[in-house]
Amino acid sequence: MRFLPLFEVAKCYNRNIGYFSREKVHFREYFIVTLQVLIVAEFPVVEEGLDYLLRDYPDIEVVATASNGVEGLEQLRKTPIDIVVHDLCSVELGGPEAITLYLEEKPQLGVIEYSSQSDEVAVFESLKAGARGYVLKSSSIDELVNAIREVHQGGYFISAELNPAIIQFYLDHRENASDQLSEYQLLTDREKQVFRLLANGKQTHEISEILCISPKTVAKHRAAVKKKLSLNTTAEMAKYAIQIGVINLPSNEAPSPTHIKSS
């Protein structure tokens, strides 16, 4: 990170927002911390777009960019970096592999996955690898900025569209959670759909109508889910689904924030 004279901040706000007047700022006396950010994205439109949009935030500076994880590592070795925003689509070094290598290179680094994948397993795998943030590409730039600030402060952040229980599950079960999720990954896409609906309390005929499949097919998928997950009742399925963040807690029990401080 580096310190930016508030005089520079005032110029930014005058240009983009209009909050401060240059004459009223004693820029020799006040400084803010500027977070140094590396953007790793396969496609230039993502890399250049984020770089452009983040210029409106005076406490964040994109100091380097890379088109893949290998280039990202090279940038980490030669440039002071506080936060890496990593596009999960990068072909060289997938998300989890790149995160692990980033943190081996610089353990104090904060890593945020920037992804179009809203699958709970992808989120968990990123957290397991060491990421502290997971932001969907459908999110606003303000949400990414909040993630950068929160992760730099030592917290965890995921997009509002995602279930915040995923973070709590990771923090509470980081030792054995991968085993539970590996079981969930054994399910086919259709079995996952049936499982989520069962866990939400849907009956066979309702699932049949929702998925446009026969009740007999629903029963077949239900039997496969029970066998693969070793769960016998709907209550057990609901408990397991809540634990791994596949479905939300009831509204009166669900954690409202999308950011959680680590203990």
What is the 3-state secondary structure of 59-113? CEEEEEEECCHHHHHHHHHHCCCCEEEEECCCCCCCHHHHHHHHHHHCCCCEEEE
Predicted local confidence at residue 26, as pLDDT: 43
> Worst-scoring range by mean pLDDT, 22-31, 53-62, 115-124, 126-135?
22-31
Higher pLDDT among residues 251 and 260, named by residue: 260
What would the pLDDT profile of 201-254 be if each residue is shown by its tens digit?
889 999 998 888 999 999 999 999 999 999 999 999 988 887 776 665 554 444
What is the CATH number that goes with domain 177-243?
A: 1.10.10.10
Average model confidence (pLDDT) across the chain: 80
Candidates 3.10.129.10, 3.50.50.60, 3.40.50.2300, 3.90.226.10; CATH matching 2-162: 3.40.50.2300
What would the pLDDT profile of 34-46 be if each residue is shown by its tens digit?
899 999 998 899 9
The Cα 207–Cα 44 span in angstroms is 42
Is residue 102 within 8 Å of 112, Cβ to Cβ?
no
Domain boundaries, the chain: 2-162, 177-243
Average pLDDT over residues 81-106: 81
Q: How confident is the model at residue 182 (pLDDT cuts 50, 70, 90)?
A: confident
pLDDT at 169 over 80: no
Residue closest to 248 by CA, chosen among 158, 165, 157, 159? 165
Amino acid at 242: I
Predicted local confidence at residue 176, as pLDDT: 58
The Cα 257–Cα 253 span in angstroms is 12
Q: How confident is the model at residue 186 (pLDDT cuts 50, 70, 90)?
A: confident
The percent of residues above 70 in pLDDT, for the chain, comes to 74
Average pLDDT over residues 7-31: 44
Q: How confident is the model at residue 62 (pLDDT cuts 50, 70, 90)?
A: very high
What would the pLDDT profile of 106-152 be if each residue is shown by its tens digit?
999 999 999 988 877 788 878 888 899 999 999 999 999 999 999 99
Predicted local confidence at residue 18, as pLDDT: 39
pLDDT at 30 over 70: no
Q: How confident is the model at residue 58 (pLDDT cuts 50, 70, 90)?
A: very high
Average pLDDT over residues 62-84: 92
Would you state the structure tokens that stand for residue 170, as one six-digit string? 């990771």
